[in-house]
Structure 1
């Protein structure tokens, strides 16, 4: 027994040295736990085998060496696979663009190549261990599968520490890249998964996993949801190309140019702002909005313009984030007179044909995909709801009322939008791994819980993560019967003392607001930005000479990591590499890359 204990100590000390050198964050967590001098788990040697004991109750009630051999022997017989690519049906068009390059078109080229492929060799290149127990099975499974990368997830730091006495993590790292997520928060889990996916993206196709015990069962759903959220088709590389191409156009040809979101401003301070979006609860408040519209600055998502028009509610500010031509054209398909006096704040992704449709003098642009104009701010987000809140806070709004930002479905009808919305979904049956149809429960605004989709959960997370400096000294009241947002107060209509709200001189207020926006907006590139654009042209030339795509691009990326062009091309590889792994025709990627490079040449010559 003494010899066994000595061996365990040696393995532990070897592991500690390994983590101190290679994973200092994990080493620090172990050190902090040991300082607590706390023990709820321990290892016992019973009936000639090790057991993991929790407060004198068996947790791992079998011989871990026998269990490890059994798991390794049957690793190919289970269906524990996260599938990150679509090989059976075409990807629907992402938006409706008159562009040469669309992500769906590119992915569909791969899918068409793979459609007739009946049996995939599910090569195990990336593998996730969910839970470690005593960790012995990690080494045994590795000897069978020899994956290129492992992500090791263990919620309990004490259990993980005990695994260090029996598992040789350094040996596991000799031929594989190791990623660890130990004793983590939700954000730390997301960060670990992101790093794991970013490493050799060509292996992000079918990722096997091993579940240590039923105690970690919920983590499967959490990881699956995250992988769905991180699917590159959700916000693909082409979106950045549209932002780049159209951003160049608006910087040169729009009347007002780009708003500087970093400049200090209090344009909307102390004004009651009513921000309206297309959630199911909009119906409930429409009569109130119509009656009291002169007591608020009415800000609306472009998606509800038709609804406001039919109810004679005039918007003062319109926020337009969508990029697809027919989508936005449909949104603005009302009498021009109706919105001619409204100030329009639009994404640089807005289709140029739409821009020509509306009054140029009232349009101001914000950067939502990439920061073309240096130090003018970049607002990222998921929907017009979360981006709209960020815009209004950036422009000084400190008295904000939210209606129609449900970020949840109507649980009675399953509808995602208000009753007469031109495009609404009725989710009666949830679809696993579907960004828009997979239902999850979140904290409600007026209820304990409400049902929402992964899309809206992403939106909720975006709102909840708004910079505290942006939100300080602001009052945000949520009237929607949907999800709860951090830093907001739930408010019912009956609790609003509307008589305390003064009638607003809309004409005077909008004129003043527009003049203020002009003072913080700019057109054209500075000399420094022109210089950066010339550097991008040189990078494009370098990309044109690539022969070995993986090797040559990596060299260019390491040298010019801050380049827009390089970052967008990297997004392209993250999307297509997992498909490219399985196709026989490796010229598909080469052809597509040439098309992207030609598009860049056109943009940077403009």
Structure 2
């Protein structure tokens, strides 16, 4: 394949015909351009620039610029790949076992694991900006990837490329190397981001290691889409979910529904409640707002979330509803700390006057501390897949309790909301939470200075520092405000949340009489479904779920046997795991797959960190054999333990003894379960 075509006669027509056959949607867009607003500038017949009408794109010989740019990129490319921090979860002994076994294998076989980008074939080559396209043949020739994605905001530039480069040669090269070739076209960043997300999702988390990110020319739309992609791809690489986390959610859900009366909230939106709601979390700025929250407490329904309950109680404010997302055993310790600090207010060591709103996966000791329990089925987890029945699940509740409190309050009917302490970051790393939280008041949970890798504009000006999870939280909050149609005022002196109206707490003003709280409580209670303890779970077919566990075990055994029998490599394994993950909905283990998706994919990510970075084929084969054996053995253990949970749960529901795990006590020192 030549570096670039010379704009020879007939090139445009040949390319247009190729697009008609291979890229019909792009072809339709290009043929709709009747009178282009831009035109090609040629030098001795060779396209070298684009006349934009008000100036030129390159302002020089674009062919020379593009070729030099491409060669420089190949020499020092921008890539994003898996890192050691992606290799394990600190709260998962099984994850640690795999990671340590990989280290032992590398040492035992004297294998060299390179740092940085993988040595294997990369996932994507994202080309942001086509222009005339002179850079594309060199990039495609030099970089072997699974998928080349050309991202362009101006359709006319794609049209001009048909007269500039030989697209047939590019397509042939991709065919020879088994590389997909796609276009993502759109004038606005939101269009580009949406379509890029579809391609990344199709490729799967296991197929993006070492992807290339190339920028050709400055463009607002392309730059915003580039920034979004580069910031969000690392979220695909982190360990999202692990066996021990799903296990405790399954334990806790069974225990909560068996041991306590509850009101089950629907994930559907209830009719609006006209009363405003104060949604309060623990960002550092809430300390400056607390006197105004207290001043207007009688004119709004108060929701605390997570550790913000301690803040409110410290100032004599008893919230109406307390929202919890975390399933960890340490939540009990947080509450014990709060009760110690408020012994006079709560002499019975219960949060009298407060109603709990929590995922059914919350630790089972928690419900007994509150007047009433309102549960919901959180999305994506195994306990919801198995036990939600006809209840719509509560979506978009993560990654932390700030998202939960907004998502749940909106579903309950509260769409006129004021956000406090939702900073999504900090101005000073020493002040990362309210001073009235256990992060400062408890020796057990005390947290030092935080350092941020992200930054964004402040709600009241300036710049906010943040980390990956809090930045993700902010993105999710922005989506909720728009999607849920919230009338939202952000009183937090943290990150600006698009869609909200910044409002200083001292500017709050409410007229009229205090709220009729009892009427509001009655309305929420009426919208929920009451479930008496022990009445809900008997309707579910536990033996059917055990059969699904058996089916998943057979699938993993089959994968392991095929690799052993046919000599497949790690790359083949990743493709097969991606297919399993993509098709779980129609699989014979659709209800229980959520139990295993975290370790199935997460442990493979650990493999990527090591196996994608070993050049020597003999060393790679030896380490892969060890990885495969440990991977298979760990999944078998998880299958056996999950089967036992369903068996013990079924026996308990049928009148047998309460399982030890239903007590909600710590089972493994140093972990969250």
- The bucket for the TM-score relative to the shorter chain is 0.7 to 0.9
Match of residue 566 from structure 1? 593
Q: Return closer, same or farther for 1:15/1:47 CA change in 2, 3 Å cut-off.
A: same
| TM-score, length-scaled by structure 1 | 0.81
**Partner residue of 2:401 out of 361, 384, 387:** 384
- Counterparts of 2:78 and 2:21, CA distance in 1: 33
Shift of 1:564: 3.8
Q: Distance in 2 between matches of 1:130 and 1:256?
A: 52
Partner of residue 144, structure 2: 146
Q: 1:601 deviation in Å?
A: 1.9
Distance 1:317 1:3 in 2: 69
Distance 1:49 1:561, change over 3 A: same
- Aligned pair partner of 1:343 in 352, 355, 366: 355
Contact 1:255–1:360 under 8 Å retained in 2:
no
Specify the SS of the correspondent of 1:342.
strand
Superposed CA offset, 1:467-503 (max 9, x none): 86843xx643332223444554433344433463426
* Equivalent in the alignment of 1:326: 330
Partner SS for 2:229: helix
TM-score (ref. length: structure 2): 0.73
Residue matched to 1:367: 377
Out of 67, 74, 77, which is 2:75 matched to? 77
* Residues 1:44 and 2:61 aligned together: no
> Larger relative CO (CA 8 A, sep 6+): 1 or 2?
2
Deviations, residues 300-357 of structure 1 (Å, cap 9, x unaligned): 01312222232222122100112322255224522254613311011233233x437x
Maintained 8 Å contact 2:171/2:181 = no
Partners of 1:10 and 1:589 in 2: CA distance? 50
Contact 1:316 1:510 in 2 (8 A): no
Deviation at 1:385, TM superposition (A): 1.5
Q: What are the Cα deviations for residues 371-418 of structure 1, in whole angstroms up to 9, with x where unaligned?
A: 431442222232211221121111122443322223342x36663322
What residue in structure 2 maps to residue 303 of structure 1? 307
Is the Cα contact below 8 Å between 1:445 and 1:490 reproduced in 2?
yes
* Distance (whole Å) between structure 1 residues aligned to residue 489 and residue 124 of structure 2: 45
Q: Pairwise mapping of residues 101-250 of structure 1 onto structure 2 (< 5 A)?
A: 101=94, 103=95, 106=98, 110=102, 117-119=112-114, 122-128=119-125, 129-165=127-163, 166-168=165-167, 169-174=170-175, 175-183=178-186, 184-186=188-190, 188-189=192-193, 191-193=195-197, 195-196=199-200, 198-199=202-203, 201-213=205-217, 221-234=227-240, 239-250=245-256
Distance 1:89 1:389 in 2: 29
Alignment of 1:401-420 (within 5 A): 401-409=418-426, 411=427, 415-420=431-436
Residue 464 in 1 paired to residue 461 in 2? no
Gaps of 5+ in 1: 430-436
Q: CA deviation at 1:138?
A: 2.8
Alignment RMSD (CA, Å): 3.9
- Mark the CA change 1:234 to 1:510 in structure 2 (over 3 Å): closer, same or farther: same
Give the aligned length: 575
Distance in 2, Cα, partners of 1:450 & 1:561: 40
Pair 1:423 & 2:420 matched: no
- Alpha-carbon contact 2:268-2:394 (below 8 Å) kept: no
SS of structure 1 residue aligned to 2:84: coil
Say if 1:197 and 1:204, in contact at 8 Å, map to a contact too. no
8 Å CA contact 1:202, 1:578 repeated in 2? yes
Determine helix, strand or coil for the equivalent of 1:274.
strand
Query: Equivalents in 1 of 2:151, 2:64: separation in Å?
Result: 20
